[in-house]
Structure 1
Amino acid sequence: MELFIMKQVLIAVPFPPELLATIRDVSPDIEVEQVSFSDRKWPDGFSTAAEVYYAAGVMPSLELAPNLRWIQMHWAGINSLRDDGYTIPGTGDPQGELPDRVYPSEATRSMLKECDYVVITLPLTSQTHHLINRDMLKEMKPNAYLINIGRGSIIHEADLIHALKKGWIAGAGLDVFEEEPLPADSPLWQMENVILTPHISGFTPHYDERAVDLFGENLRRYLSGKPLLNLVNREREY
């Protein structure tokens, strides 16, 4: 089983519990309870994901790839270089060591043909806007699933809906959309092979606490004249 993570250079790859839950939910051989979206809106009290810890006390991010290899899931990355930005301690892949294979961006089409799950964690830039369109979707396997926890406009939504209806791919798990909240007239609400969540994959019970920690670290760096974390690079557009 191939899992293809689409990321940008020097962007930490997030592996929240939400991602694993989405992979579980879109898989047809795993029975799960689904929220009814018959009224085409998010239900009141839609909660964020709880955090999952291993006995050693680390987030699943750090141990995710080795454990999923145990169930014969392999990792492939695109432009997965060493990350020099901010990551939650004990999580992520700052050395860029987890992918079994790394492909250049120009090999995206050939890579899509191999993967059972394609996970998008990209920022939205002029280069990534509608990166996943009709042509790219046609390259995917008919039993493959597309999961987006990056930005909605990376996927051409109309092309995705067409691909899902035509059976070009098996299904999709979407946490982000071209228009948010997702319009009530979107066909995505009623598609049985689509899992929808309201842009919550990055939120956990400790999100605010970590945001304060990051602010404190940047304040210390600023006062001591050191480079700040998570600065926007206008040339990269993120």
Structure 2
Amino acid sequence: MPAPLMLLWTDHDKPYREAIARAGLEDGRMRFAFLPRSAQPDEALLAEAEALFAWGAPPGMLARMPRLRWIQALTAGVEAWLARPDLRPEVVLTCARGTHRVQMPENILGALFHITKPYHAAALDQRERRWTRRVSETLAGKTLGILGLGAIGREVARKAAALEMRVIGTRRGGAGAIEGVERALGPEGTEAVLAESDFVLLLLPTTPETENLMDARRLRAMKRSAWLLNFARGHLIVDEDLVAAVREGVIAGAVLDVFREEPLPPEHPFWTTPGITVLPHIGGLHPKRDEMVAALLAENARRFRDGEPLREAVDRAKGY
């Protein structure tokens, strides 16, 4: 019986080839087929592949892979995979959870500094050779509310606490002790977190419970001086409600890194609403991100070959 075959459908194959070689997986007990995303796998390859590594796949492709047992996604979010009608229940889906641990918290802290420090205004002043002294707001003493105290949320909390911020938040597992977090509540504590926070950070997955979470009612539950930061999923926010809330002074503003449609259409009001900062989904980008995902892929490929449980498996009932 031939060794199991994995199809790696990616344009950046070098780090993945190197990770597979370092892990000693080229010993014949598992096979790997690399294909650029511009090329379409033929029917023979689809029929033989038992594992798939890809950003996504055309509609119906998974139905043409009868031996498929495992999909490794390149991202932490897997909503698009879970929405596919051809994703069979027996296929294990794993994500790239954990590969954003360093870069995402740093970019979130960057957003907090962007809100409170006058560097952007100073850069604009420099263009005009204009000397304008400004007083920056402090982060120390402010309350950061994190909706979604998962791996990234906990790392943000630890680093924010080092800046003398008070951190509160919610997590699906309910109340409990977390380093750097003064109070962690279950999802039922969302309203309390919104009411107390100077900055509300969204780090939730998109599920039926979280879609459209930040609507007009919840935005009104925030302080008028508070800022909303979304580094999770665009579907957590009702776009028109946020635009209205910022324009009407219901909240102070927002920093958004994710959107319902990406790239964000040029006619979208987020671009032109004063108080809303648009980031082009840079939160998790890292100069060595492919190497991080490649290490996870190689570990999971070894586990798959040896019949061991795979890391970062997605719970389909939870949606992440």
TM over 0.5: yes
Alignment counterpart, residue 299 of structure 2, candidates 197, 217, 236: 217
Kindly provide the amino acid, as one letter, of the partner of residue 312 in structure 2.
Answer: N
Name structure 2 gaps, 5 residues minimum: 1-96, 125-151
Structure 1's 66 and 96: CA in aligned 2 closer, same or farther, altered over 3 A? Answer: closer
Tell me the SS of whatever aligns to 1:208: helix
Max Rg structure: 2
Alignment counterpart, residue 215 of structure 2, candidates 100, 122, 133: 133
| Shift, 1:66, TM fit | 5.0
Q: Does the CA contact (< 8 Å) of 2:194 and 2:221 recur in 1?
A: yes
Kindly provide the amino acid, as one letter, of the partner of residue 98 in structure 1.
Answer: G
Name the CA distance, whole Å, in 2 between partners of 1:205 and 1:61. 21
**Structure-2 residue corresponding to 1:31:** 119
- In the alignment, is residue 147 of structure 1 matched against residue 239 of structure 2? no
| Shift, 1:207, TM fit | 0.5
**Structure-1 residue corresponding to 2:270:** 188
**Structure-1 residue corresponding to 2:189:** 107
Kindly provide the amino acid, as one letter, of the partner of residue 270 in structure 2.
Answer: L
**Structure-2 residue corresponding to 1:197:** 279
Name the structure where helix makes up a greater proportion of residues. Answer: 2
Q: Does the CA contact (< 8 Å) of 2:178 and 2:184 recur in 1?
A: no
- In the alignment, is residue 18 of structure 1 matched against residue 117 of structure 2? no
Structure 1's 169 and 19: CA in aligned 2 closer, same or farther, altered over 3 A? Answer: same
Alignment counterpart, residue 164 of structure 2, candidates 72, 78, 84: 72
Name structure 1 gaps, 5 residues minimum: 1-10, 37-59, 83-94
Q: In terms of mean alpha carbon deviation, does 108-117 or 15-24 score higher?
A: 15-24
Tell me the SS of whatever aligns to 2:204: coil
Q: CA RMSD in A?
A: 2.8
Tell me the SS of whatever aligns to 1:153: helix
Q: In terms of mean alpha carbon deviation, does 154-163 or 225-234 score higher?
A: 225-234
Structure 1's 213 and 33: CA in aligned 2 closer, same or farther, altered over 3 A? Answer: farther
| Shift, 1:201, TM fit | 0.5
| Shift, 1:81, TM fit | 4.8
Structure 1's 207 and 34: CA in aligned 2 closer, same or farther, altered over 3 A? Answer: farther
| Shift, 1:62, TM fit | 8.0
TM-score by length of 1: 0.72
Q: Does the CA contact (< 8 Å) of 1:132 and 1:155 recur in 2?
A: yes
Kindly provide the amino acid, as one letter, of the partner of residue 74 in structure 1.
Answer: R
Q: Does the CA contact (< 8 Å) of 1:120 and 1:150 recur in 2?
A: yes
Structure 1's 34 and 132: CA in aligned 2 closer, same or farther, altered over 3 A? Answer: farther
Percent of matched pairs sharing the same residue: 34
TM-score by length of 2: 0.54
Structure 1's 64 and 186: CA in aligned 2 closer, same or farther, altered over 3 A? Answer: closer
Deviations 1:193-222 (A, max 9, x none): 121111120111010000100001111221
| Shift, 1:115, TM fit | 0.2
Q: Does the CA contact (< 8 Å) of 2:158 and 2:181 recur in 1?
A: no
Return the structure number with greater relative CO, CA threshold 8 A, min gap 6.
Answer: 1
Kindly provide the amino acid, as one letter, of the partner of residue 214 in structure 1.
Answer: L
Structure 1's 176 and 226: CA in aligned 2 closer, same or farther, altered over 3 A? Answer: same
